[in-house]
Amino acid sequence: MAQEKDNNVLSSASDAQRPVPEHIGIIMDGNGRWAKKRGMPRKFGHKRGAKVFEDIAEYCDKIGVKYLTVYAFSTENWSRPKDEVSALMKLFKDYLTTTEGKGKNIRIKFIGDMSALDEELQQLIVNMEAETASRKGLTVFLAINYGGRDEIVRAARQLAKEAAAGTLDPEKIDSAMFESKLYTAGAPDPDFILRPSGEKRLSNFMLWQASYSEFIYMDTLWPDFTPELLEEAIAEFNKRSRRYGKVEEQ
């Protein structure tokens, strides 16, 4: 499908021809440090980070990315100070109640254990998913109370239940069946996982899905992230040689 070229970033002919990744994963990190550098409370960084997320999602939709998975709150982030956790929950509610996240071409799906969130937030999530379900553009997987290990354990538990009930032969369990029990079932694995802020680790993000993802690390803190930097990441990704265990010539 031809992509619209009505933005400033994709300006040259060669840019227009370069492949657009199907699925990008982003670990949105560095909000706290960004705020600290400005002598502001950490929640100020989260607020700016949320705005950047909206801009990046819109940009991904525009250039034809099909899936964007963003890590917004990990299963481990509950261990942060109470006031920071509440500020983050409030931010999620604000995002879900403003019209800004809506009225676009983007389908929003939440991944993670929603049962631990308060009822109001759970309801807002159900509403937003329903409102955006029929949209045909970018699918955003918003990871909240998400942990890669938790996701794998949950899939294993579901399969174990089916086996215990006698509806599943354990010998029939294969990677595809396991994948069908993950939050991201049906979506391709991320082509690359981007982590800004200088940290070089996965922090429990997409452990199963990342098996052949490229990793791209950048020093910029998430609240300073821009579509131009995403273009740099895509250019870097396009230089990588993905072999999936084979040799270059195959």
Binding site residues, ligand IPE, CB under 6 A: 27-33, 42, 71-74, 77, 88, 197, 199, 201, 203
- Sign, CA dihedral 98-96-82-111, equals negative
Closest approach, Cβ 216 to Mg ion, in A, equals 17
Tell me which of ligand IPE, Mg ion, none is bound by residue 71, counting a contact when its beta carbon lies within the kind-specific cut-off of 5 to 8 angstroms. Answer: ligand IPE
With respect to ligand IPE, which residue has the nearer C-beta, 76 or 242?
A: 76
Query: Least distance from C-beta 90 to ligand IPE, angstroms?
Result: 13
What CA–CA distance (Å, rounded) separates 15 from 4?
Answer: 12
Phi, psi of 144 (to 5 degrees): -130, 130
Which of these is catalytic: 15, 61, 77, 113? 77
State the binding partner of 90 from Mg ion, ligand IPE, none, CB within 5 to 8 A by kind: none
Instruction: Determine which one of 6, 7, 29, 113 is catalytic.
Output: 29
Site for Mg ion, rule CB under 5 A:
29
Nearer to Mg ion, 137 or 196 (CB): 196
Given Mg ion, ligand IPE, none, residue 181, with its beta carbon under 5 to 8 Å by kind, binds: none
User: In this complex, which beta carbon is closest to ligand IPE, that of residue 139 or of residue 197?
Assistant: 197
Edge-first strand listing for the sheet containing 23-27: 107-111, 139-146, 67-74, 23-27, 192-195, 214-217
Between 27 and 234, name the residue whose CB sits nearer to ligand IPE. 27
Distance CA 214, CA 242 (A): 8
Q: Which helix H or strand E contains 217, and what residues bound it?
A: strand 214-217
191 is catalytic: no
Under DSSP, the state recorded for 160 is H
- Cβ-in-10-Å burial (0-12, 13-18, 19+) of 211 comes to exposed
Is residue 77 flagged as an active site residue?
Answer: yes
Annotated active-site positions, please?
A: 29, 77
